[in-house]
Chain A
């Protein structure tokens, strides 16, 4: 028994070590199980549906079929390592682990292995500095951009000034949730508001004391960096203490339908920052219906289409596919390597005309990645939930962050990383 398993595993590893000819391999490190599955499932579905669509409709990218390898991480760093190691030998072009913990582990590894890492709106914010982080990308926006844009919106609500106001950050007590604190602190100095943090421990089911503190402290605004089950509990608790929902603003990871629906009507007015539009009101979803859904090729149970996180996964798919196209164009070959993929990501440009061509008109802001700026453009909008129609509505345009606050922080943190790891600056 034991012997046959070992033989079987060896056979598998030998066979998997040889990359299949002429296929573009996109690994998907997803989590469809565990405490974060409610968020992990829609985004994984969106990503794999986009790739299936490209395969079915266009026959792949530039004539090359896409092969997707899915691997379950359960949001667990040990499993993440296993997934990375078991897929990297198969010609994987780009990783997006959807976990800040796994991202921190992979940053040095992907750089050593020469495979790009795309942490879309999460991970290590200072990776936006392409001069230091050659293989890590976090466009279209970072947490520090988000913190700044959220603060901007609060200022708009208050009529231009936050002086003397109090802002609370309810955050997941992990690297992910702590990421924006530094920016909020810098912002609180600049705009003279008081800033308090209310950490919530994993998994976040128990938040009574957190919201009791909110009642006691009476902050003018609450910002939230939540993930998984923590989101819906927070929104329900906020509704139950009758906190004014239009003063409660979540990051883009705290804005799925599954997060707001459990609170029912109480969630009306809840705001969240958005990287992209929601719903299925785009050209490409007609193709999706025709080529994927009606053929029964949709990933998972196919019941998340059009949700915020599904669309996020969809956009993730669109971005890596466009990056692969760019790489093919730069190098003039269709069967690209991870190194070429990296060049493609670094040269990725998507303007509104291109978004429209892709069937995603009005979906997201322009994307513009350069050698120096891997986080570009850093634009996001604010959307608001209406429980009556069960829809998110954009209430602002895509706006940029306060660069005078965010950029120095990015430089400082990336310089510390460069010094720690003896990295010399690129792009000069």
Chain B
């Protein structure tokens, strides 16, 4: 009798439109937020921070960003790696040009820079659709990586083109550089994920989100009923790039601490994030999180199991891990083409009716 709508009366429209209509879900959500935000920081160590939580939080922000564009607005993008690079390099330039700037401001400003770049590269979406748009955004991926290789100003004329994050703080707490505490970077990145997850959820439920989905479902029909495609598409590009830029800034400054464009922001990054939202579920917030967890955490889990426990040679374990993840992707896409989030939804539906399925 736990997962029931019965007895949970809604007396206002606001309550009726709640993200979590069932009390059990609401409690579970806030309980998990409580654990993640207030309990784990006391226990997190370097390994869990750097190998598990930060990558998950950062990729989740990027996945939410891409999901806004691809899942909600229907514009396929292969430029994620390039946009993350814009976020990373603008945060680097901001950190080195204005040393006293708070890290929170740096990350937000990097997001805005990326949003502007995203709008510029989103222009072709007004003319082209589908695979053709994918190719146009692919061009942005290659162009941006090339730019950060070529334009010496972006990496402060360093001999190698490598950028390294200096030590910066958030309200006096060091969050970048080698001397940052695990709990500080953990809270910092989780804060961004929480705030932007919240914002994204509200955006897609609101007026803008509905115009994105209208464009996604049929752009001509949307235009006829009064949705401005220029505004809808470019706003989707702007918001999406903002998120990806924030993720890129955190990725470079907080997580890795150093980066070079060709390796850290290659086309693989774009594919990784795209796979996250396809496996997780297009047009779903939960999907973005599940997808990020799937792509980021499974390799680490498999590695730990195969090498740490079974003592397999590292190369065999690596290959097996790639095969396992590949087959899991295929398995989930066959079982549920709409992503793991859809599987989760079905499960919840069933649970509501259990034990009387009809």
Contact = CB atoms under 8 A, between A and B. Distances in A.
| Chains A and B belong together in one complex | yes
Interface of A: 5, 8-9, 12-13, 16, 30, 32-33, 37, 41, 70-72, 74, 76-78, 81-82, 85-86, 88-89, 100-101, 104-105, 107-109, 111-113, 124-125, 173-176, 178-179, 181-182, 199, 201-202, 413, 420-421
Closest 6 CB pairs of A and B: A32-B315, A112-B178, A108-B178, A175-B160, A72-B314, A175-B162
B309 interface: yes
A70 to B, nearest CB: 5
A113 B263 CA distance: 25
A32 B318 contact: yes
A202 B263 contact: yes
A12 B304 contact: yes
Interface in B150-202: 159-162, 164, 166-167, 177-179
Contacts of A105: 256-258
9 contacts: A33-B318, A33-B319, A71-B314, A72-B315, A81-B256, A85-B47, A104-B164, A108-B164, A111-B178
Contact of A182 (B50, B51, B159): B159
A175 B161 contact: yes
A134 to B, nearest CB: 13
Contacts of B258: 77, 101, 104-105, 107
Nearest to A16: B308
B281 to A, nearest CB: 18
B263 A108 contact: no
B96 to A, nearest CB: 8
A413 B308 CA distance: 40
A8 B309 contact: yes
A86 B51 contact: yes
Contacts of B264: 77, 101
B51 A33 contact: no
A9 B149 CA distance: 39
Contacts of B149: 173, 199
Contacts of A111: 178
B300 interface: yes
A181 B159 contact: yes
A85 B46 contact: yes
A18 to B, nearest CB: 13
A77 B256 contact: yes
B144 to A, nearest CB: 14
A201 B266 CA distance: 11
Given A30-B314, A78-B55, A105-B258, 19 more contacts: A8-B309, A13-B47, A16-B308, A33-B319, A72-B307, A85-B50, A85-B51, A89-B45, A101-B162, A101-B259, A107-B258, A173-B149, A174-B262, A174-B263, A176-B160, A178-B160, A202-B262, A202-B263, A420-B164
